[in-house]
Chains A and B, each alone.
Chain A
Amino acid sequence: MPALIGVLFLATVVPSGLGLYNPYIQLVLIYIGVNIVLTVSLNLVNGYMGEFSVGHAAFMGVGAYVSSVTTVALVIGNPRLGGPLLPEASSLVVFPLSLLLGGVAAAVFGLLVAIPSFRVRGDYLAIITLAVNFIFKSLVENLDVIGGPRGFLGMTRVTSAMGRAVDVPWTMIWAFVATVGTVYVVHSLVNSTFGKAIVAIREDEIAAELMTVDTRRVKVVAFLLSCGLAGVAGGLFAHVLGFINPAGFGILKSTEVLVMVYLGGMGSITGSVLSAAGLTVLLEAMRPLHVFRWVLIPLLLILLMRFRPTGLMGSRELTDVFPALRRWFGRPPEDEHFEHTGGRVS
Chain B
Amino acid sequence: MSLLRIDGLTHTFGGLRAVDGFSVALEENQVVGLIGPNGAGKSTVFNLVCGLYQPAGGSIELQGQSLVGRRPHEITALGIGRTFQNIRLWDELSVLDNVRVAHFSQIRYGIRDALLGTARLHADERELNGLARELLARFHLESYAQELAKNLSYGIRRRVEMARALVTRPKLLLLDEPAAGMNPADITVLLDLIAWVRDTFAVTIWIIEHQMRVIMGVCEHIQALDFGRVLAEGRPEEIRNNPDVIRAYLGEEAV
Interface residues of A (CB under 8 A from B): 184-185, 188-189, 192-197, 199-200, 202-204, 206-215, 221, 225, 267, 315, 335-337, 339, 341, 344-345
B168 at interface, CB cutoff 8 A:
yes
Cα(A221)–Cα(B110), bound, Å: 12
B104 contact set on A, CB distance < 8 A:
193-194, 197, 211-214
Chain B contact residues: over half helix, strand or loop, or mixed? helix
B135 to chain A, nearest CB (A): 13
A254 to chain B, nearest CB (A): 24
B221 to chain A, nearest CB (A): 25
Cα(A200)–Cα(B146), bound, Å: 16
Known contacts: A210-B52, A211-B168, A212-B168. The answer to whether A336 contacts B90 by CB under 8 A is: no
Beta-carbon contact of B76 and A210 below 8 Å:
yes
Interface code B90-130, partner A: CB below 8 Å = 1, 0 otherwise? 11111011101111111101010011110001100110110
Which residue in chain B gives the minimum CB-CB distance to A209?
B72
Cα(A283)–Cα(B108), bound, Å: 45
Known contacts: A207-B84, A212-B76. The answer to whether A194 contacts B100 by CB under 8 A is: no
Chain A contact residues: over half helix, strand or loop, or mixed? helix
B68 at interface, CB cutoff 8 A:
no
Cα(A214)–Cα(B77), bound, Å: 10
Which residue in chain A gives the minimum CB-CB distance to B113?
A192
Beta-carbon contact of A341 and B105 below 8 Å:
no
Beta-carbon contact of B117 and A184 below 8 Å:
yes
Beta-carbon contact of B102 and A211 below 8 Å:
yes
A213 contact set on B, CB distance < 8 A:
73, 101, 104
3 closest cross-chain pairs (CB), A and B: A203-B90, A212-B105, A188-B117
Cα(A260)–Cα(B101), bound, Å: 29
Cα(A345)–Cα(B111), bound, Å: 31
A202 contact set on B, CB distance < 8 A:
92
Cα(A309)–Cα(B54), bound, Å: 40
Cα(A123)–Cα(B52), bound, Å: 21
A210 contact set on B, CB distance < 8 A:
50, 52, 72-73, 76, 82
A345 contact set on B, CB distance < 8 A:
147-148, 151
A208 contact set on B, CB distance < 8 A:
90, 101
